[in-house]
Each structure stands twice: as C-alpha cells, then as structure tokens.
Amino acid sequence: MGTTQSLYLFASYHQTRYEFIFTYSQKPELGRLFVTVKSVHKAYSTSRMYREIKIRGAVLNGTELDLLPEEEIKEKISGVCNLSNNIGNIGVMYITNIRCVWHAINNESFNVSVPYIQISEVKLKNTQYGNALVLQTFSRTGGYLLGFRIDPLDLLKKSAKEIKSYWRIANQKPNFGITSIEGNEEFPELMKSSDYSKPKPSIFILPEVENQNIIINDDYDFDFNFAKNLTKNSGEVSGECYLEESNPLNVNDKDIVWDPDLGLAIEKLQEGKNAFGLWKLI
C-alpha cells in the first residue's frame, strides 16, 4: 500500500476509550472525507438542543426565547408555576414545534428546555397544588418528572392538548436538527468497488447556529497502551477487538485488508472476528 494518510477517530464508551484508523489510498479524496467527517461532527455538536434536555442553559436572547433554526413559537404562557422540588416558581412557558421551554421570571438562568423526542408521557395530574401539567422524560435522559401549574383550568387543558399534539408529531417525524441530503455524489470513487453493494451513505448539513461554542480537539492525547491493558472481565468491550498491536502506528501493509461491509480498508482482525460482530457487542 505504501505511504498513505489515515483518518483517526477517538471515541469513548462508558469508561473505555477507542481509536479507529481509516485509510484510503487516494489522498485527495481522503482530505475531502476528513472535512466531511469534521463537518458532521460539528453539525452533531451544534444541534444538541434539538435532542437533549437542557437545564440552566442559555435559552434566552434578551427577554425572548432564542429560537433554533426551523423553530417557531406556537404559544407563550405567562404565570406558569414550576412545581419541581415542591417549590413553586413563577415563570414563562414557551410551546414550540420542537420543544417545551420554561424559565423563571426572577431568575432567567433557572430554566429547562425539553425536546418532545425526550418526553415519554404528557398528562394532567391532581397534585397538592391543584391540577398540573406533568411531563415525564425517558429514563435514559434522567427520568425527570416535571410539573407545571397553569391557571385557569381551561388554559391548562388547552396547553396540555397542544403539547400532546406536537409530541405525537415529533414521535412520528422527529426533527434532530440536521438536514439529510440523500446520496453521496462528492465521493463517487468510494463506492465503485465490485465488492461493495451497500446503499450510499448520507451527507448531513446543518444551518449556521449562533451562540454555539464548538471545540474540536485536533491534538487528542491518547494512550495507545490503554486499550491493550483492558481486562476482558472488566464488564466493557475489550480493547483488543480494536487494537491488534501494542503500537497501532506500526501496522504492516500486509495487515491492511478490505472490509466489504464497511466499504473501507481496515487492520486485519483476529481469527474468527469481523466488523459486524464487534459493533454487535456494543
């Protein structure tokens, strides 16, 4: 294979860290592939508000809600009481097509942003403070139980109905904050191998988002011996599945093989192992 350039990806899962090395023989194409991967990573990082619950975040722009791209305010309700921790805090609730946001009047940093895709249940419940709107989130995101009192009762029912409507829409057609363009015309040579018959991957593009600080570390300090020293009884996936040598920089060309499932040249795996099986372990 000779001298080539490689794309290094560093990842972590629970307490385990991994390094992935991808090599492509055509250097100009690899450069563009690197730019694409970096763009996808940035798109993922800048669109977290579409997918993740945010507590005490920067949700306001001045005195109004800082809208995300494609987000629209459907309802703004004043005098909404947050019943969390059995302490009533008066604030403002925004119902948008993407999320439900509440912030306190006296302390704007006391706020919560809940995307509909993270809500497991929307209901009305009779509490010690009277009838309240309850938003239950999935356990994987902390299992939050958020209660809000809205007066009068008619407005409470109307708000609950509206949130349920957008919640159902989000479950059927979620907005993850990233636009997908079908096909991959930018890298036609990547898919011309006769051994590769999988569908072309998508390229993801995100509109520019303001007030987002993105940090992409190009100088990642990785301990190459870390994964090798993992024990198979640690309860995590063994690092040996990904690092075949104690120093991955000294990989011989003869150990590089073409993997038709990934559509990439990778380091030869141990006998009886394949890429599909490694991903299945996770």
Say which CATH number the domain at 161 has: 2.30.29.30
Q: Which two tokens stand for residue 138?
A: 């999935």
Residue 1 within any structural domain of the chain: no
Quote the pLDDT of residue 223.
42
Residue 181 within any structural domain of the chain: no
Residue 230 within any structural domain of the chain: yes
Residue 108 within any structural domain of the chain: yes
Quote the pLDDT of residue 187.
44
In this structure, are 42 and 59 located in the same domain?
A: no
**Structurally, how many domains does the chain consist of?**
2
Domain boundary among 140, 172, 204: 172
In this structure, are 250 and 197 located in the same domain?
A: yes
Count Cβ atoms within 10 A of the Cβ of residue 179 and give its class: 0-12 exposed, 13-18 middle, 19 or more buried: middle
Quote the pLDDT of residue 254.
55
Q: Are 92 and 150 in contact, with CB atoms under 8 Å apart? A: no
Question: Which tens digit of pLDDT belongs to each residue from 22-69?
Answer: 877 766 666 777 888 888 888 888 899 999 999 999 999 988 999 999
Question: Which tens digit of pLDDT belongs to each residue from 175-191?
Answer: 988 765 544 444 444 44
Residue 180 within any structural domain of the chain: no
In this structure, are 16 and 72 located in the same domain?
A: no
Q: Which residues of the chain have pLDDT under 50?
A: 1, 182-251, 281-282
In this structure, are 65 and 153 located in the same domain?
A: yes
Which residues touch 26 (CB under 8 Å, ≥6 apart)? 189
SS (H, E, C) 115-160: EHHHEEEEEEEEECCEEEEEEEECHHHCCCEEEEECCCHHHHHHHH
Dist. CA 5–CA 26, nearest whole Å: 9
Which residues touch 129 (CB under 8 Å, ≥6 apart)? 81, 83, 88, 147, 149
Quote the pLDDT of residue 252.
54
Quote the pLDDT of residue 87.
74
Residue 207: give the domain boundaries. Answer: 6-47+187-281
In this structure, are 68 and 22 located in the same domain?
A: no
